[in-house]
Structure 1
Amino acid sequence: MQKTFALHTEPHVADIGDTQLLFQPEVMGDDFMEAYTALRETQQASGVNPDELDGLDPEQLRRVSRGMRGFLAYLMLPESAELFTRLDVIKGGKVLKSFTDPEEADAYAAAVKGGGAKVTYHLRLPDRVLVELLEWTVSLFSGGQRPPTSSGGSAKASPPPGIRGTAVSPSKASTRARGR
């Protein structure tokens, strides 16, 4: 017996408005798990439960967003990753300088004379789109299963309490025809 396995050779494409983000055709399982585990650990180390984002202060949300962007960029082709992680330092509606490193962007913005400089992503996206991209890539690269490091990877719920009934199901309660 012979079995043929296909490998994806064309990038996965995420269409977001008029922008296309290209993701690697294949990501090795251990590389994906290391990146996903790092994302979860970073979020948890900052005191953030990624499954409960309600009520977070803006700085915590910024860390969660940056962590998700870093994880997603790891799975992208280089040009898309650069676009996706580019940070612009803006003052008075003008881009002063662009960065790919968040710490460098923050430091530059803090050093701008007169203050008032703000760091924003060049490709601004609503949080819901980031979450949808995260869920899509997890399903792409983990075979449709949430990785075991996530809360969805926990054991199945216990059966409901009580004694299971032993009554005959209605479909079997009807009179059977006697065998020949």
Structure 2
Amino acid sequence: MRKTFALNTEPHVAVIGETELLFQPEVMGDDFMDSYAELREARQAEGVDLDDIEDADPAVVRKSNRGLRVFFARQMLPESAVLFLRLNVVKADKVLKSFQDLEEAEAYAAKQKGARIVDELRLPPRVLAELLEWIVELYGGGDARPTTSSSGSSTASRPAGTRGTGRSPSKASTRTRGR
């Protein structure tokens, strides 16, 4: 018996506005689960309640969002990951310097009076949530499978042996009246 398994070879593409983010065609299950477990543990440790974000410490929320972005970047192709993780230190709508590391960006911004940190690719929370759902479906073993033509699937095998013409014992039993 021989079974052929399809592997994705083309990157997955998330189109967000005019930006295309390229994700790895396949991610090994243990790599994905390790990075997903790290994300979940970080969120729990930070204690960010997404239903009550108004009362949360902005620094904690930023760190939590950064953890989510790092999780996404681990599934991306390098060029997309660099864009997705880029942080700009901005003052008066002018980019002073760009970083990949949040702590470095925070240290630099602290030295620049009136500066703030913004993601290069700014996204609303709902898009991040939808992206997370899509990523988990792609790599987590959900309904997503490599796309192949329907002719790529084999037909089911016929059961072994020959079909008998005798009556089934269940059909030979006495029927209950009224059924």
TM-score by length of 2: 0.77
* Aligned equivalents of 2:93, 2:75: Cα separation in 1: 32
Residue in structure 1 matched with residue 7 of structure 2 by the alignment: 7
Counterpart in 1 of 2:23?
23
Is the CA contact 1:43–1:63 (under 8 Å) kept in the aligned structure 2? Answer: no
Task: Summarize the Cα distance change of 1:120–1:29 in structure 2 as closer, same or farther, 3 Å threshold.
Answer: same
1:76 is displaced (CA, Å) by: 0.2
Kindly indicate which of the two structures has a greater share of residues assigned to helix: 2
Partner Cα distance (2:59, 2:91) in 1: 20
Within 5 Å, which residues of 2 pair with 1:3-152? 3-48=3-48, 52-56=49-53, 57=56, 58-112=58-112, 115-144=113-142
Task: Count how many residue pairs are aligned between Structure 1 and Structure 2.
Answer: 144
Query: Do the aligned partners of 1:86 and 1:121 also contact (CA within 8 Å) in 2?
Result: yes
Partner-residue secondary structure (3-state), 2:27: coil
Other-structure match for 2:160: none
The amino acid that maps onto 2:115 is A
Describe the SS at the equivalent of 1:21.
Answer: strand
Q: Give the percent of matched residue pairs that are identical in Structure 1 and Structure 2.
A: 62
CA distance in structure 2 between the partners assigned to 1:91 and 1:71 by the alignment? 28
One-letter amino acid of the counterpart of residue 55, structure 1 = D
Cα shift at 1:64? 2.0
Q: 1:175 aligns with which of 158, 175, 178?
A: 178
> What corresponds to 2:155 in structure 1?
none
Counterpart position of 2:151: none
Moved over 3 A (4+): none
TM-score (norm 1): 0.76
Q: Is the 8 A contact 1:90 1:96 kept in 2?
A: yes
Letter in 2 for 1:140: L
Larger Rg computed on CA atoms: 2
Superposition CA RMSD, Å: 1.5
In the alignment, the residues of structure 2 paired with residue 84 and residue 123 of structure 1 have an alpha-carbon distance, to the nearest angstrom, of 6
2-structure distance, mates of 1:124, 1:5? 38
Which ranges in structure 1 are unaligned for 5 or more consecutive residues?
146-172
Q: What's the CA shift for 1:174?
A: 9.0
